Amino acid sequence: MPVRKWMLTRRVLGQAGAATALAAVVGRPARADRPYRIGALNPITGAGSTYGSGMQKTILFALEEVKRAGGVDGRPIEVYAEDTQTSPDAAVLAARKLIDANKVDAIIGTWSSSVSLAVLPITNEANCLLLHTSSAPALSTPAQNPKHLAWRFQAASHQIGDAYAAIAAHEKASRAAAMAFNNDVQIASVGFFRSAWEKAGGKLPNPVVYEPNRTSYAAELQQALSEKPDFLVVSGYVPDTSIILREAYEAGNTAKIVIPGWAMGPATVKALGAEVLEGLIVVDAVPDAGSAAFKTFDAAYRAATGNPGSSNIYAAMCYDMVAVLTLAMQKAGPSADNAAIAQVIPEVANPPGQAVSSFAEGRKLLQAGQKINYEGASGPIDFDERGDVTPVFGVSVFHDGKLEQRYLLK
């Protein structure tokens, strides 16, 4: 563990102890004197635990980077970390603790859709920002997000579904099939794939929904391949996808298989090997070519976790959350409240503006009064009017054991 992290913690704790005590007595002081508190609420345990610790560590080192660059003018930042346990009720209590006991102004890095859906009413009520990586469409509807406090850094399910359909068209698929992990995100993505594909004139049999934690998906695979498709979408996570890919290979499958980027990890690449992976198509939300932000994130992620940044796209999104939030705070000024900060988020993240790939770069330009456009580690980070990123999807193919990017979907 890098030493500097716990020093940050100690400093934060010292301030936290005093601040909490003061706040309890005096009530929340005026905005300008008060530090901006960020709650890192991530799935350290539970189903999202593969990504959660990386996400939380990323938030911490990203905030360190902001501090090293001079911080946000007039706004010291404090961070508090909690675990959602990938469970909505645990997350609700954690969110309540962050908001009421730690007095956070923003909660960032909730991962699972059910957690974000449970936390959103709380953050809305408290006028806190919620920056999340969940795909459920319900998170950005006007009914659920009326004050535009929630911002989505991950492709929404309909965008993922459309991406699958675009790839199918690009690969000139004639018969398509799909398998989906039994949760809301994957079922929804595959559902949108189906409607997009059928709207383009294709046909898709009922997607095969499979259960988690099984040791074999041979039967499910058999059903998916029963109509002899030449194109198969497998929308799941690392453990199940690695079993399915292995079993597809052993069954002598010839269909092109497409998986989302988060379903492939470095351990499985090593375990499956070049032969099994040959020709596998991976679709991922990617930054524009040559993203400097990704390089910075990747280096820091490796130092903090020992794994490559490409193994945790959600951590890259968390890196961008910190950058976007701090740049928005910088632009909005030291006495801005969350409504004002939310208003300028698109101004720092979307074009037009000079492209920047770090807080340090953007801060300098903002101080000079210029317009910026943050290009992130997980994508170009351009928000639509609902607060969802418009991702750019990159399509890569495994060849000789290595993932080669082939084309982008715009």
- The CB-of-236 to other proteins minimum distance in angstroms stands at 12
| Nearest distance, CB of residue 244 and other proteins, angstroms | 11
Residue located via tokens 């317009």: 371
Contacts of 310 (CB under 8 A, 6+ apart): 266, 298
**On the CB side of 269, how many CA atoms lie within 13 Å of its CA?**
18
Exposure string of 331-356, with b = 16+ CB inside 10 Å and e = fewer, is bbeeebebeebbebbbbbbbeebeeb
Smaller CB separation from other proteins, 86 or 350: 86
Distance CA 336, CA 131 (A): 18
Min dist CB 395 to other proteins, Å, is 24
Complete DSSP assignment for 204-273 = -PPPEEE-SS-S--HHHHHHHTTT--SEEEEE--HHHHHHHHHHHHHTT--SEEEEEGGG--HHHHHHHH
Q: What are the CA-CA distances from residue 351 to residues 80, 109, 244, 339, 355 (Å)?
A: 32, 24, 41, 21, 8
Q: How far is the CB of 370 from other proteins (least distance, A)?
A: 35
Q: How far is the CB of 332 from other proteins (least distance, A)?
A: 24
- 234 phi/psi in degrees, rounded to 5: -115, 105
**Closest distance of CB 109 from other proteins, Å:** 12
Measured between alpha carbons, how far is 367 from 143 in angstroms, rounded to an integer? 36
Write out the H or E segment, with its range, that includes residue 118: helix 113-125
Name the residue nearer to other proteins (CB basis): 171 or 184: 184
φ and ψ at residue 361, rounded to 5 degrees? -60, -50
Q: Which is nearer to other proteins, 215 or 385 (CB)?
A: 215
Task: Select 64 or 83, whichever has its Cβ closest to other proteins.
Answer: 83
DSSP code of residue 84: -
Smallest gap from Cβ 297 to other proteins, in A, equals 18
Q: Which two tokens stand for residue 410?
A: 């715009």
Rounded Cα distance between 12 and 64, Å, is 12
Question: Residue with structure tokens 């300028």?
Answer: 344
Whose CA is closest to 39, among 17, 25, 23, 59?
59
Q: Pick between residue 251 and residue 303 the one whose CB is nearest to other proteins.
A: 251
Nearer to other proteins, 13 or 200 (CB): 13
> 272 or 356, CB closer to other proteins?
272
Closest distance to other proteins from the beta carbon of 49 (Å):
4
20/174 with CB nearer other proteins: 20
Length of the chain counted residue by residue: 410
Show the tokens assigned to 16.
């936290």
Q: How far is the CB of 55 from other proteins (least distance, A)?
A: 10
Nearer to other proteins, 201 or 213 (CB): 213
